[in-house]
């Protein structure tokens, strides 16, 4: 835990050093006002209030002789005013401390959240595909929220209570040894006894909290999957199964929370019982040693503040243990390394490559370890339009995904214009590529903004010309605000074909030398596909284009076709030649019937 806290502090506390110092100062003031101020008031100021002007002078007057010059009635007034003064100082310092600590907590969490999200953007696609998305969302939103919630509740106690405890304990020791009897020192044993529940429950709380957060992640995953597959759920009447899945995830979450609450709430009654025991011990031994009421009250006040601040520090410590569960889950993401990183000394790519692509002895396996591409050697000259065909699962999409370096080759190399894709930055490499996938992924925002994403800083004229080239314009008339119409999440409000046109316009505006069309029309009906094919053909002109095809009709302009089978290229050539020489190609082609 210590190293985790140190690491966390270096990353997230040091940048806010100024706020930390203010927190410490205000915490110190509050603590001193409570821990020292109140018991010492009882010991030194109360006797002045109850002094009748005759008899032995109160201690404070003996220590500060100048007080003896002040009139008795004025002294009384001053003594009475000092109590609200101590509480006013405590109140102002406490307010300042709470505000500063909360601001600090919010700032720290903001940087933590952003750091984790930033890190997720750099993690390999394979990692993100392997993880349950709901759980990642839960870590970024719920776990940081949990840490923030805990911090805002306990952060001021983390500083204030231990200092109050030390101040009150010092006052207690002073009073004990100046006015008490030696056997009263045995009360210190109770303090040791009080520390036990705090330490003993810490571990369990941390473990339960981590489990509870993991279960919250599971709950999020169930909800996310459920919302994403509503059509299937309704069509196949899967609602009871979904409800059962949710209920079971929810019950496990609840079970852990209940256990967590039990441990958390146990600490207060235990501490309070120990405090009462210590007080009665003090009362009995004080009475036996003939201690006066004001000495006893001062000692009791100091002891109360010692125990009370210890209890609150313990509570804060245990809530921090709860936050630790979340911190560990965030740390898991932050510790996840990206094996696909930019090179230390990247080579400079020209602003616009020609578009030659080479696969040299490429073998590739996903995490499962089974090669899905085997010893591929292929040269695609710039400007060539290449179709990739083959049975499902043969490796076509994987082949295309190696060019933008979404995955790293297991053996061999992939080169663009003779440069290994591992020798240049991913940013430079991906600047040279446009990809249109099966599902056009649109973001919330206007149609225009969605097109402009292809090229940051695109001019109005460039966006308009891309929209015309992709014939987005043909459906803009039906949109309430034309190209400025705001789309829902995922492009809600447009048909599949219309979304695909926006994605094509995005590729047009990017104007990259290499184009990958990965089953770009697979999700469209034949009619929409025919309509869009023309725009795709014109987009491909003059670019090195890879078309992962499920229908041969999309390959009518391909100069060359690569036939994939079980991770190998078993045919390479133009349609006529392959039809005559490659049995697999002939079989696939005949099955579909026509070009």
Contacts with ligand ADP by CB under 6 A lie at: 129, 366, 368, 372, 390, 392-398, 564
Element (H, E) at 296: helix 293-335
Two tokens at 355? 């578009």
Give 307 or 564: the residue with its C-beta nearer to ligand ADP: 564
Shortest Å distance, C-beta 136 to ligand ADP:
16
Give 175 or 394: the residue with its C-beta nearer to ligand ADP: 394
DSSP 142: I
Q: How far apart are CA 382 and CA 417, in angstroms?
A: 8
Give 131 or 446: the residue with its C-beta nearer to ligand ADP: 131
Give 311 or 396: the residue with its C-beta nearer to ligand ADP: 396
Give 191 or 569: the residue with its C-beta nearer to ligand ADP: 569
Shortest Å distance, C-beta 393 to ligand ADP:
4
Give 278 or 394: the residue with its C-beta nearer to ligand ADP: 394
Give 274 or 436: the residue with its C-beta nearer to ligand ADP: 436
Shortest Å distance, C-beta 395 to ligand ADP:
5
Give 345 or 368: the residue with its C-beta nearer to ligand ADP: 368
Please, are residues 106 and 148 in contact by the beta-carbon 8 Å criterion? yes
Shortest Å distance, C-beta 231 to ligand ADP:
23
Listed residue (297, 286, 344) closest to 171, CA to CA: 297
369: three-class secondary structure by DSSP: coil
Q: How far apart are CA 142 and CA 221, in angstroms?
A: 13
Shortest Å distance, C-beta 452 to ligand ADP:
30
Shortest Å distance, C-beta 8 to ligand ADP:
33
Listed residue (450, 463, 547) closest to 502, CA to CA: 450
Give 3 or 392: the residue with its C-beta nearer to ligand ADP: 392
Listing DSSP states for 478-542 in one string gives: TSTTGGGPEE-GGGTTS-HHHHHHHHHHHHHHHT-SEEEEESTTTTS-HHHHHHHHHHHHHHHTT
Look at phi and psi of residue 64 and say left if phi exceeds 0, alpha if psi is from -120 to 50, else beta: beta
Shortest Å distance, C-beta 394 to ligand ADP:
4
| Strand 357-365 versus strand 411-416 pairing type | antiparallel
Shortest Å distance, C-beta 329 to ligand ADP:
24
Shortest Å distance, C-beta 488 to ligand ADP:
28
Burial label for 127, CB within 10 Å (0-12, 13-18, 19+), is middle
b/e code 308-343 from CB counts within 10 Å (16+ = b): bbbbbbbbbbbbbbbbbbbbbbbbebbeeeeebebe
**Other CB atoms within 10 A of residue 18 CB:** 10
Please, are residues 35 and 173 in contact by the beta-carbon 8 Å criterion? no
Shortest Å distance, C-beta 132 to ligand ADP:
14
Element (H, E) at 568: strand 568-573
The three-point CA angle 542-544-549 to 5° equals: 115
Element (H, E) at 386: strand 385-389
Cα 566 from chain centre: 39
The three-point CA angle 305-309-310 to 5° equals: 115
Shortest Å distance, C-beta 408 to ligand ADP:
13
Listed residue (257, 269, 267) closest to 315, CA to CA: 267
Give 396 or 543: the residue with its C-beta nearer to ligand ADP: 396
Residue 394's alpha-carbon distances to 63, 349, 362, 390, 401, in angstroms, are 94, 32, 15, 6, 14
Give 300 or 372: the residue with its C-beta nearer to ligand ADP: 372
Give 5 or 128: the residue with its C-beta nearer to ligand ADP: 128
DSSP 139: I
- Packed helices 188-228 and 239-288: angle between N→C axes, nearest 10 degrees: 170
399: three-class secondary structure by DSSP: helix
Strand partners, 420: 415
Give 127 or 246: the residue with its C-beta nearer to ligand ADP: 127
Shortest Å distance, C-beta 369 to ligand ADP:
10
Handedness of CA 236, 242, 243, 244 (dihedral sign): positive
Give 395 or 513: the residue with its C-beta nearer to ligand ADP: 395
**Other CB atoms within 10 A of residue 347 CB:** 12
Shortest Å distance, C-beta 125 to ligand ADP:
8
Shortest Å distance, C-beta 129 to ligand ADP:
5
Q: How far apart are CA 525 and CA 556, in angstroms?
A: 18
Return the residue matching tokens 């995922």. Answer: 490
Shortest Å distance, C-beta 398 to ligand ADP:
3
Give 215 or 518: the residue with its C-beta nearer to ligand ADP: 518
């Amino acid at each position: 835990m210590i190293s985790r806290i140190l690491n966390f502090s270096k990353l997230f506390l040091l940048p806010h050093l100024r706020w930390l110092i203010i927190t410490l100062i205000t915490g110190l003031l509050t603590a001193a006002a409570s821990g020292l101020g109140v018991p010492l008031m009882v010991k030194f100021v109360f006797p002045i209030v109850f002094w009748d002007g005759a008899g032995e002078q109160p201690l404070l007057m003996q220590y500060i002789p100048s007080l003896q010059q002040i009139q008795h009635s004025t002294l009384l007034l001053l003594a009475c005013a000092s109590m609200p003064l101590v509480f006013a100082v405590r109140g102002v310092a406490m307010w300042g401390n709470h505000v500063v600590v909360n601001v600090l907590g919010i700032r720290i969490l903001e940087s933590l959240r952003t750091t984790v999200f930033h890190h997720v953007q750099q993690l390999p696609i394979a990692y993100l595909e392997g993880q349950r998305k709901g759980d990642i969302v839960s870590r970024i939103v719920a776990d940081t929220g949990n840490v923030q919630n805990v911090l805002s509740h306990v952060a001021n106690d983390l500083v204030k209570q231990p200092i109050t405890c030390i101040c009150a304990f010092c006052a207690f020791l002073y009073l004990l040894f100046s006015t008490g009897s030696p056997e009263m020192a045995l009360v210190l044993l109770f303090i040791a006894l009080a520390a036990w529940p705090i330490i003993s429950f810490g571990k369990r709380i941390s473990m339960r909290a981590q489990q509870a957060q993991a279960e919250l992640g599971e709950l999020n995953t169930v909800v996310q999957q459920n919302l994403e597959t509503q059509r299937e759920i309704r069509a196949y009447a899967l609602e009871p199964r979904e409800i059962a899945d949710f209920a079971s995830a929810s019950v496990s979450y609840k079970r852990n929370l209940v256990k967590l609450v039990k441990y958390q709430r146990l600490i207060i009654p235990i501490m309070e019982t120990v405090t009462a025991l210590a007080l009665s011990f003090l009362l009995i031994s004080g009475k036996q040693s003939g201690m006066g009421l004001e000495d006893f009250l001062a000692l009791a006040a100091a002891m109360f503040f010692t125990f009370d601040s210890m209890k609150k520090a313990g509570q804060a410590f245990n809530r921090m243990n709860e936050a630790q569960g979340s911190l560990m889950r965030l740390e898991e993401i932050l510790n996840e390394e990206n094996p696909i990183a930019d090179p230390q000394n990247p080579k400079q790519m020209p602003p616009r490559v020609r578009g030659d692509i080479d696969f040299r002895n490429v073998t590739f396996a996903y995490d499962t370890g089974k090669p899905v591409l085997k010893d591929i050697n292929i040269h695609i000259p710039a400007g060539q339009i290449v179709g990739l065909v083959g049975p499902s699962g043969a490796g076509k999409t994987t082949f295309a995904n190696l060019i933008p370096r979404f995955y790293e080759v297991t053996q061999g190399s992939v080169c663009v214009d003779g440069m290994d894709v591992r020798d240049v930055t991913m940013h430079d490499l991906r600047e040279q590529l446009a990809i249109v996938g099966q599902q056009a992924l649109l973001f919330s925002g206007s149609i225009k903004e969605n097109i402009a994403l292809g090229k940051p800083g695109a001019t109005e004229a460039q966006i308009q010309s891309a929209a015309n080239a992709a014939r987005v314009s043909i459906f803009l008339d039906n949109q309430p605000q034309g190209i400025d119409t705001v789309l829902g999440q995922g492009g809600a409000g447009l048909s599949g074909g219309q979304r695909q046109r926006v994605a094509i316009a995005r590729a047009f505006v990017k104007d990259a030398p290499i184009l990958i069309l990965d089953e770009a029309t697979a999700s469209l009906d034949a009619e929409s596909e025919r309509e869009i094919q023309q725009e795709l053909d014109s987009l491909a002109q003059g670019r090195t284009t890879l078309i992962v095809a499920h229908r041969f009709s999309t390959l009518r302009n391909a100069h060359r076709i690569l036939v994939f089978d079980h991770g190998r290229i078993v045919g390479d050539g133009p349609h006529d030649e392959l039809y005559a020489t490659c049995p697999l190609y002939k079989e696939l082609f005949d099955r579909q019937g026509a070009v």
